[in-house]
Amino acid sequence: MDKYGLIGYPLGHSFSKNYFNEKFSNEGIDAEYINFEIPTIELLPEVLASNPELKGLNVTIPFKEKVISYLDVVSREAREIGAVNCIRVENKGGSLILKGYNSDVIGFTKSIEPFIERFHKKALVLGTGGASKAVAYGLKSLGLEVIPVSRYQRPGTIQYDKITAEVVHEYNVIVNCTPVGMYPNIENCPRLPYESLTERNLLYDLVYNPDQTLFMKKGEQMGARVKNGLEMLLLQAFANWKIWTNE
């Protein structure tokens, strides 16, 4: 039986595990998807050694950047982004070849593109982790100028307390790449001047549980268009399967 899985820490409820095991069951595919909750990336070789049937892995927080040094091949896109969330595992004559890709960018770009209007020229990307790097790459590929938002003073970023009404009018696409507002902490939202949003703003939340976060609700109350990350996850899962199986 082929195996696929997810590495990350901690792993709560996993969209990928439920999605793929349901797919395997429905389509009669002799495979299973397992969550490998490892506290450190140094345990990846152990996961590979103890699961010789592995054909592919997904990578989530906090390993999307750290995993790159363990890979034999990294796609140009993933290398430019600086983060990998999908690994194809190939067994060549007893030795493993690990190939890294970024399906986050595929899922995100395809899901936000229909919402981008002519007046969407600049975007704020909340967060500076692996997912935010893929989102920034995707937005730039759609022609938008991007600035990351960080809690800390870092070169090329803006801090939350510097985001004014003028900033959200100019940077009228806002993408939340942080876990703020995710279940069970549904009463939380990123610190933004929501009262300054208008119908020209687009708010996209990578969080999909709950299906409407407080970030989205506050945007919608001001007339902004909002979208959660569920479609991105589905598109990303399709992309993962193509990468693993060459289908």
Catalogue the active-site residues.
64
Chain centroid to Cα 28, Å, comes to 28
Residue 203 neighbours by CB under 8 Å, 6+ apart: 174, 175, 176, 197, 215, 216, 219, 224, 225, 226, 227
Q: Which among 16, 213, 22 has a CA at the least distance from the CA of 103?
A: 16
CA distances from 179 to 129, 182, 229 (A): 11, 6, 12
- Sheet of 202-205: strand order equals 158-159, 145-150, 122-126, 173-176, 202-205, 225-227
Q: Report the C-alpha gap between 59 and 7 in whole angstroms.
A: 5
- C-beta neighbour count of 42 within 10 angstroms: 10
H-type alpha helices, 145-212: 165-170
Q: Report the C-alpha gap between 51 and 78 in whole angstroms.
A: 25
Contact 104, 77 (CB under 8 A): no
